[in-house]
Structure 1
Amino acid sequence: MCGRFAQYSSRDEYFESFGLKADEIQYDPEPIGRFNVAPGTKVLLLNERDEELHLDPVIWGYGPEWWDKQPLINARGETAATGRMFKPLWNHGRAIVPADGWFEWKKEGNKKQPYFIHHKKNQPLFFAAIGKAPYNKDHGHEGFVIVTAASNKGMVDIHDRRPLVLTAEAVREWLSADTTPERAQEIAHDAALPEKDFTWHPVSRKVGNIHNQSSELVEEIDDPVT
């Protein structure tokens, strides 16, 4: 995790959740409408630049010049702040992915059943992310990764890792250039939503094809793989 997620609400729905006023950021009020966001595509990323909030399209994936493998899409929250690969991004490239939920696949025999995981009250989610700043410039394969946390309190039956979802109240401090790397570690530990705030249901296996983007992909199905 996280290998696929949904970002379909309107920008104002995301922003209103953490108290952002209309005059604090320029954005399109139309729904984003992406029900099947895949790695390697550009994702709208909330970030702070020059003491202002911005929403920029940024490649989901990170592979610096010396990295000879596929770009990484996730970073473990337990080690991202100190490891060689991600420490510079943690210090200077913290961002937020506004989202509505994410997908996980559970193996059932020789098949895999996808599930859509979302907030129990259908509230917007804010995935902690880190990447190559500034985000208004093209850095090639050096985009961003989603920070993940362990799923050890109720969600492990779906997957043992999940996105680090921050509370709405923590978003601005996470993004702020005034927030120290050490304080960001505290936020990641103390301001993450617990597993009990989420629910999930089986969805169509059509989500496995990145070309499928309709709203039916997040709808519960009656005949999951068993």
Structure 2
Amino acid sequence: MCGKFAAGDLTQDQMLEILSGFLYTPARADPNTPEAKRGYNISPSDQAHMIRWDDDGFQLTTARWQINDPRAKSPLINSKISNTHFWRDYWDNGRCIIPALGYYEWSGLSGRKQPYFISVNRNAPLIFFAGFYRTSGDGLQCSILTRNPAPEIEHIHSRMPVILSPAEINDWLTYTTPSNEAQDTLGTDWEGRFEVTPVAPITKSSEGPEMTEPWAPQQTSFDF
């Protein structure tokens, strides 16, 4: 977890308007960032929307979804919230949030895994993953924080993204939330409110809101 998520089709202006309801000061758009990929099939290495705090306040920008940390053997798309030693510098100077509609996870036997679209019951049009980012020679890169799953989804996968509640967003972005507190509580306010939807098999070319709609395989035979 998390290896694919849905971002939706919101424009930058629509994103800024939504953010105004969560952030205690308005976010500004980064005019020099590459365009984010929109849609329902965001995969590792895609350019994704990202919000961070810098000296001038909150900024809506984009980042490639994978961190190429020189200490790691391969690109990192997820960051374990418990691994504070490896991510120590990011805790102090590399926090971000990544807006989404929800994410996908697979469960079952190899070769017959069932994909699920997972989100939370909410009033807002978006959810926000806690993340880390770094600056590289070719721009910004980001990863999504993960933690042990909520009880109602632990049968699907052993990890889940850290989905911030509205009350957690500002403190996370402004480096107010300490790492020891985050280990225990960050992203746990949604327990009991997860929505899990079995969806159609996902391919590289899959796209559109139908990727998040309920699906069941056609029955081809009967047992007597």
Normalising by structure 1, we get a TM-score of 0.80
- Cross-structure match for 1:58: 63
- The separation in 2 between residues aligned to 1:140 and 1:65, in whole angstroms, is 15
- Cross-structure match for 2:4: 4
Q: What amino acid is aligned across from residue 45 of structure 2 in structure 1?
A: G
Q: What amino acid is aligned across from residue 19 of structure 2 in structure 1?
A: F
Question: Could you tell me how far 1:187 is from its partner in structure 2?
Answer: 4.0
Normalising by structure 2, we get a TM-score of 0.81
- The separation in 1 between residues aligned to 2:137 and 2:193, in whole angstroms, is 35
- The separation in 2 between residues aligned to 1:50 and 1:114, in whole angstroms, is 41
Structure 1 consecutive aligned stretches of length 4 or more whose deviation exceeds 4 Å: none
Secondary structure of the residue aligned to 1:116 is: strand
Residue 202 in 1 paired to residue 198 in 2? Answer: yes
Question: Could you tell me how far 1:132 is from its partner in structure 2?
Answer: 0.7
Question: Could you tell me how far 1:208 is from its partner in structure 2?
Answer: 3.2
Secondary structure of the residue aligned to 1:91 is: helix
The percent of aligned pairs where both chains have the same amino acid is 26
Structure 2 CA distance for partners of 1:121 and 1:167, relative to 1, 3 Å: closer
- Cross-structure match for 2:28: 25
Deviation readout 1:148-172 (Å, 9 max, x if unpaired)? 0101512111111000111112111
Deviation readout 1:86-109 (Å, 9 max, x if unpaired)? 211121000001111000011147
- Cross-structure match for 1:216: 210
- Cross-structure match for 1:160: 158
- Cross-structure match for 2:44: 39
Deviation readout 1:152-195 (Å, 9 max, x if unpaired)? 51211111100011111211111115x36xx2442453342333
- The separation in 1 between residues aligned to 2:144 and 2:92, in whole angstroms, is 15
- Cross-structure match for 1:75: 79
- The separation in 2 between residues aligned to 1:73 and 1:109, in whole angstroms, is 22
- The separation in 1 between residues aligned to 2:218 and 2:80, in whole angstroms, is 30
Secondary structure of the residue aligned to 1:118 is: strand
Structure 2 CA distance for partners of 1:46 and 1:141, relative to 1, 3 Å: closer
Report the aligned-residue RMSD: 2.8
Structure 2 CA distance for partners of 1:166 and 1:152, relative to 1, 3 Å: closer
Residue 125 in 1 paired to residue 127 in 2? Answer: yes
- The separation in 2 between residues aligned to 1:152 and 1:115, in whole angstroms, is 15
Question: Could you tell me how far 1:34 is from its partner in structure 2?
Answer: 1.7
Q: What amino acid is aligned across from residue 164 of structure 1 in structure 2?
A: V
Structure 2 CA distance for partners of 1:224 and 1:103, relative to 1, 3 Å: farther
Q: What amino acid is aligned across from residue 148 of structure 2 in structure 1?
A: A
- Cross-structure match for 1:189: 184
Question: Could you tell me how far 1:14 is from its partner in structure 2?
Answer: 3.9
Structure 2 CA distance for partners of 1:129 and 1:185, relative to 1, 3 Å: farther
Q: What amino acid is aligned across from residue 185 of structure 2 in structure 1?
A: D
User: How many pairs are equivalent?
Assistant: 209
- The separation in 2 between residues aligned to 1:224 and 1:47, in whole angstroms, is 45
Query: Is the contact between residue 63 and residue 141 of structure 1 (CA under 8 Å) also seen in structure 2?
Result: no
Q: What amino acid is aligned across from residue 152 of structure 2 in structure 1?
A: G
- The separation in 2 between residues aligned to 1:54 and 1:158, in whole angstroms, is 34
- The separation in 2 between residues aligned to 1:224 and 1:19, in whole angstroms, is 45
- The separation in 2 between residues aligned to 1:148 and 1:14, in whole angstroms, is 24
- Cross-structure match for 1:113: 114
Question: Could you tell me how far 1:27 is from its partner in structure 2?
Answer: 8.1
Secondary structure of the residue aligned to 2:45 is: coil
Max Rg structure: 2
- The separation in 1 between residues aligned to 2:96 and 2:120, in whole angstroms, is 20
Q: What amino acid is aligned across from residue 130 of structure 1 in structure 2?
A: F
